[in-house]
């Protein structure tokens, strides 16, 4: 089946699920059906089962060393200190500077063999499946999956669960993109992404070097699905990105660098801003950053732990993933990373400022406005592809000098 | 009688030879092969093709970034040698008791991380940086100068700063065998200060200066970190494209072709400079034993 077929089928499936939800509420059969859904979840396929036909889920005995490959901080060193002490497990971390380093390290000449845990942003799932990076996860060994918010347990987008119920990822941290401003120089929060194109922001816009993120945001703003934008519509998206790039003095290699640029006064506002930037700035002694999602909404990102092919300590890896869904650990990780929690019982554990980042009381509404998207397809004749986005982004980066 | 073969040199150079073969030549050959294969997603496959090289040459953005690499690399190399040569000369012949201290400071500058130096320039050249603040403070400007940062100028300044210590040391070593008596003899023969420089010093340091120029040019033109942090949209260079091919798009064959195209460019430059030295006979100038 080609990607285009997959998109059509997926769209139909989502429509069906939405309709099914409406029917459930309309006929007033909610309690019965919800109970049935709960049972299904408990079977594991829905991602949250603590008891299955095979008996209660139980974390495996963890020993030895876990080889970890992801962003710095995603090994949540402080929050997992107790677990490491109890089990004697050591974590050897390799940190990345760019998400694409994960697949590069895993695929380039087999150099990646031996990693036990990686993380993936939900949009990378089709690519990682194409590259045969993801191993199925045994839910029987992760009892804490039951702690997930229903949204993350349900996984309508098949980001962490395949359609047949096979789990490929454990969502544990997330966030939404917004406009970040430095209120020392920008007195009122822009209400639209298009405000950033105004002359007052010429040379004042910071942009992180995140091609797929920039693409997802621009496509969303123009009301296209970033994973299924036709080549014709794609030109409109690239054109918007070119206009945004022309408002900047350059693309920052990271969110940290975009923050530094703003704190130094070399930029006032950030396209593809992030609430964590407020904290990064505060840590640098600047507490004047604010981040808000403008009227068009934005996109959200969720990172999941996964077991890469070639792992030689899967049990310890699964035990570590399970531990990350412990409410206290999940909350500590959110504080450390200034992110969102995926575990409902973690919310009360959060300090007020971190809990206030996202509207946990209505996650569905928040994610309706700022959805999780897939990356563009790897191959397609109809839609803009992942490689095309990467290639055109490089042109856009250098375009201002053309 | 034939001289017996000494195994001393072979033994002494064996570790370096093996290291180079394993960690330099072998990967180079592998990527050379990659560059003629067909790129698949994060992999390569047959058949052999020249399309990768064709794409590298025909892509407009590559040509633009190659021009940036040429300009920034050339400027960084030129100014590094230009600034380092008088410094090295002063260190060799006039520094006196300061020689040890200055050489120590030059070596000590290597202790500062590459990234720290880049960020130091950012804090110097930014809108609220030391230069703008200073100029505003003394009333020279009313508004911060925006052209100091996020362009080729900023990249060139940082690269000159980063590579200058290496070039000073290379040229200082190049001048070391040039005894002061050479210059005294030239002076006794009636050569003025400028003539001594032109006819004695420069011919003798021409080869080390060209080596230093190439060293800085190659490292600067292929750099992909400094341009991203200081270059803005006008200072990005070709090295960034190689990084994107390997890490972003996962097209190893295209990335390898681009790397080899850059290598070919560097070799052409090397050949041109070597030819220039040869035509001017400066390659034959040697210090007397």
The per-residue pLDDT for range A183-209, each reduced to its tens digit, is 999 999 999 999 999 999 999 999 998
Nearest chain A CA: its distance from B229 CA (Å)? 7
Q: Are A378 and B41 within 8 A, CB to CB?
A: yes
Does residue B278 fall inside a structural domain? no
Residues of chain B contacting A100 with CB distance shorter than 8 Å: 247-248, 250
Does residue A168 fall inside a structural domain? yes
Q: Are A395 and B229 within 8 A, CB to CB?
A: no
pLDDT of residue A228: 97
Please return the burial class of A222, using the count of CB atoms within 10 Å of its CB with bins 0-12, 13-18 and 19+.
Answer: middle
- CA separation for the pair A379, A395 (Å, rounded): 20
Structural domains counted in chain A: 2
pLDDT (mean) for A218-227: 97
- CA separation for the pair B103, A253 (Å, rounded): 35
Alpha-carbon torsion angle A345, A351, A356, A361, nearest 10? 20
What tokens does B97 get?
């008791």
Residues A57 and A141 in one domain: yes
pLDDT of residue B2: 63
Residues A202 and A57 in one domain: no
Which chain A residue lies closest to B246 (C-alpha atoms)? A104
Residues A101 and A158 in one domain: yes
- CA separation for the pair A294, A315 (Å, rounded): 43
Does residue A113 fall inside a structural domain? yes
- In sequence order, which residues have a C-beta less than 8 Å from that of residue A365 and are 6 or more positions away? A359
pLDDT of residue A48: 45
Residues A181 and A243 in one domain: yes
Does residue A276 fall inside a structural domain? yes
Does residue B189 fall inside a structural domain? yes
β-strand partners of A69: A94, A118
What tokens does B84 get?
């380092």
Structural domains counted in chain B: 1
Q: Are A209 and B228 within 8 A, CB to CB?
A: yes
Nearest chain A CA: its distance from B145 CA (Å)? 11
Q: Are B41 and A209 within 8 A, CB to CB?
A: no
Residues of chain A contacting B149 with CB distance shorter than 8 Å: 249, 266
- Give the range among A275-279, A292-296, B76-80 with minimum mean pLDDT: A275-279
Phi, psi for A340 (deg, rounded to 5): -100, 155
Supply the DSSP string of B20-83, one letter for each residue: HIIIIIHHHHHHHHHTTSEEETTEEESSP-SHHHHHHHH-HHHHHHHHHHHHHHHHHHHHHHHH
pLDDT of residue A159: 96
Q: Each residue's pLDDT tens digit in chain B (289 positions)?
A: 566 667 788 899 999 999 999 999 999 999 999 999 999 888 899 999 999 999 999 998 899 899 999 999 999 999 999 999 999 999 999 999 999 999 999 999 888 888 899 999 999 999 889 999 999 999 999 989 988 999 899 999 999 999 999 999 999 999 988 888 888 999 999 999 899 888 888 888 899 999 999 999 999 999 989 998 998 877 888 988 898 898 888 899 999 999 999 999 999 999 999 999 889 888 776 665 4
pLDDT of residue A110: 59
Q: Is the pTM of this model over 0.90?
A: no
Q: Are B233 and A397 within 8 A, CB to CB?
A: yes
pLDDT (mean) for A352-362: 90
Which chain A residue lies closest to B64 (C-alpha atoms)? A402
- CA separation for the pair A116, A108 (Å, rounded): 17
Which stretches of chain B sit within 8 Å of chain A by CB? 41-43, 60-61, 64-65, 68, 119, 122-123, 126-129, 146, 149-150, 228-229, 231-236, 240-241, 244, 246-252
Nearest chain A CA: its distance from B1 CA (Å)? 52
Q: Is the pLDDT of residue A164 over 90?
A: yes
pLDDT of residue A60: 87
Which secondary-structure segment (H or E) carries A253? Answer: none
| pLDDT one-digit tens code per residue, A87-97 | 999 999 999 87
The confidence band for A223, taking pLDDT boundaries of 50, 70 and 90, is very high
Does residue A63 fall inside a structural domain? yes
Residues of chain B contacting A378 with CB distance shorter than 8 Å: 41
Nearest chain A CA: its distance from B236 CA (Å)? 6
3-state SS, residue B13: helix
Host domain of residue B189: 57-235
Does residue A151 fall inside a structural domain? yes
Q: Is the pLDDT of residue A23 over 50?
A: no
- In sequence order, which residues have a C-beta less than 8 Å from that of residue A59 and are 6 or more positions away? A141, A142, A143, A144, A318, A319, A322, A323
Residues of chain A contacting B250 with CB distance shorter than 8 Å: 100, 103-104, 107, 387
pLDDT of residue A2: 42
pLDDT of residue A371: 95
pLDDT of residue A312: 92
Residues of chain B contacting A98 with CB distance shorter than 8 Å: 247-248
Residues A250 and A387 in one domain: yes
pLDDT of residue A57: 80
Does residue B281 fall inside a structural domain? no
Residues of chain A contacting B254 with CB distance shorter than 8 Å: none
Does residue B275 fall inside a structural domain? no
pLDDT of residue A5: 45
- CA separation for the pair B69, B57 (Å, rounded): 15
Residues A180 and A264 in one domain: yes
Task: Count how many pairs of residues, chain A against chain B, have C-beta atoms within 8 Å.
Answer: 96
pLDDT of residue B41: 84
Does residue B191 fall inside a structural domain? yes
Does residue A5 fall inside a structural domain? no
- CA separation for the pair B235, A128 (Å, rounded): 33
Nearest chain B CA: its distance from A396 CA (Å)? 9
Residues A270 and A317 in one domain: no
Q: Are A100 and B252 within 8 A, CB to CB?
A: no
Q: Is the pLDDT of residue A290 over 90?
A: yes
What tokens does A295 get?
């009227």
At A350, which CATH number?
3.40.190.10
Nearest chain B CA: its distance from A212 CA (Å)? 10
Residues A252 and A198 in one domain: yes
Residues A209 and A121 in one domain: no
At B66, which CATH number?
1.10.3720.10
- CA separation for the pair B266, B71 (Å, rounded): 14
pLDDT of residue B3: 67
Host domain of residue A221: 175-299+377-399
CB B84 within 8 A of CB B285: no
Residues A306 and A290 in one domain: no
Does residue B124 fall inside a structural domain? yes
The confidence band for A19, taking pLDDT boundaries of 50, 70 and 90, is very low
Q: Are B41 and A211 within 8 A, CB to CB?
A: no
Q: What are the counts of helices (DSSP H) followed by strands (DSSP E) for chain A?
A: 15, 12
β-strand partners of A205: A269
The confidence band for A114, taking pLDDT boundaries of 50, 70 and 90, is confident
Residues A137 and A60 in one domain: yes
What tokens does A11 get?
């769209």
Does residue B214 fall inside a structural domain? yes
Residues A58 and A147 in one domain: yes
């Amino acid at each position: 089946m080609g990607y285009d077929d997959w998109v059509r089928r997926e769209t139909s499936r989502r429509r069906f699920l939405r309709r099914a939800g409406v029917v459930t509420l309309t006929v007033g059969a909610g309690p019965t059906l919800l109970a049935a859904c709960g049972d299904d979840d408990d079977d594991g396929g829905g991602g949250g089962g603590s008891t299955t036909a095979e008996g209660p889920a139980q974390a495996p005995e963890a020993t030895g060393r876990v080889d970890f490959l992801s962003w710095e901080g995603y090994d949540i060193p402080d929050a997992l200190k107790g677990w490491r002490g109890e089990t004697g497990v050591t974590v050897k971390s390799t940190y990345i500077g760019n998400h694409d380093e994960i697949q590069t390290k895993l695929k380039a000449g087999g150099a990646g063999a031996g990693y036990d845990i990686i993380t993936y942003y939900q949009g990378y799932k089709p690519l990682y499946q194409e590259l045969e990076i993801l191993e199925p996860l045994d839910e029987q060994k992760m009892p804490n999956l039951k702690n997930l918010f229903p949204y993350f347990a349900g996984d309508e987008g098949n980001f962490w669960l395949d359609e047949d119920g096979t789990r490929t990822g454990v969502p544990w941290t997330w966030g939404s993109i917004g406009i970040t401003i430095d209120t020392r120089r920008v007195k009122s929060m822009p209400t639209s992404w298009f405000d950033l194109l105004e002359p007052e922001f010429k040379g004042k816009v910071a942009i992180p070097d995140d091609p797929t993120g920039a693409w997802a945001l621009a496509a969303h703003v123009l009301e296209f699905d970033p994973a299924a934008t036709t080549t014709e519509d794609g030109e409109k998206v690239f054109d918007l990105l070119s206009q945004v790039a022309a408002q900047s003095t350059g693309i920052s290699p990271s969110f940290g660098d975009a923050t530094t640029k703003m704190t130094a006064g070399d930029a006032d506002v950030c396209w593809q801003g992030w609430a964590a930037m407020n904290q990064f700035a505060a840590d640098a002694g600047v507490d004047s950053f604010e981040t808000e999602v403008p009227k068009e909404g934005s996109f959200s990102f969720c990172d999941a732990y996964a077991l890469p092919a070639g792992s030689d300590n899967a049990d310890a890896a699964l035990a570590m993933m399970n531990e990350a869904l412990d409410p206290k650990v999940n909350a500590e990780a959110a504080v450390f990373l200034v992110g969102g929690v995926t575990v409902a019982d973690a919310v009360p554990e959060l300090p007020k400022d971190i809990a206030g980042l996202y509207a946990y009381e209505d996650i569905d509404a928040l994610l309706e406005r700022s959805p999780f998207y897939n990356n563009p397809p790897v191959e397609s004749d109809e839609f803009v592809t992942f490689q095309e986005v990467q290639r055109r982004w490089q042109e856009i980066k250098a375009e201002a000098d053309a | 009688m034939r001289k017996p073969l000494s195994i001393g040199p072979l033994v002494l150079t064996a570790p370096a030879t093996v290291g180079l073969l394993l960690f330099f030549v072998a990967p180079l050959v592998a990527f050379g092969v990659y560059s003629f294969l067909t790129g698949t997603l994060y992999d390569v496959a047959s058949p052999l093709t020249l399309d990768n090289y064709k794409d590298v040459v025909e892509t407009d953005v590559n040509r633009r970034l190659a021009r940036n690499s040429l300009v920034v690399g050339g400027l960084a190399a030129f100014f590094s040698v230009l600034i380092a040569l008088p410094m090295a000369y002063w260190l060799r012949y006039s520094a006196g008791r300061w020689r040890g201290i200055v050489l120590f400071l030059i070596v000590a500058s290597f202790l500062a991380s590459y990234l720290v130096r880049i960020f130091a320039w950012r804090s110097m050249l930014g809108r609220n940086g030391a230069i703008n603040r200073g100029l505003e403070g003394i009333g020279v400007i009313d508004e911060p100068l925006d052209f100091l940062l996020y362009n080729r100028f900023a990249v060139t300044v940082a690269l000159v700063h980063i590579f200058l210590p290496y070039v000073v040391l290379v040229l200082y070593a190049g001048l070391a065998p040039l005894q002061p008596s050479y210059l005294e003899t030239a002076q006794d023969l009636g050569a003025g200060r400028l003539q001594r420089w032109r006819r004695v010093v420069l011919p003798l340091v021409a080869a080390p200066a060209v080596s230093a120029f190439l060293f800085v040019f190659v490292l600067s033109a292929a750099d992909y970190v400094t341009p991203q942090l200081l270059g803005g949209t006008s200072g990005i260079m070709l090295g960034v494209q190689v990084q994107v091919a390997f890490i972003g798009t996962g097209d190893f064959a295209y990335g390898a072709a681009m790397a080899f195209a850059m290598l070919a460019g560097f070799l052409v430059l090397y050949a041109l400079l070597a030819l220039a030295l040869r035509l001017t006979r400066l390659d034959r100038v040697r210090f007397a034993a």
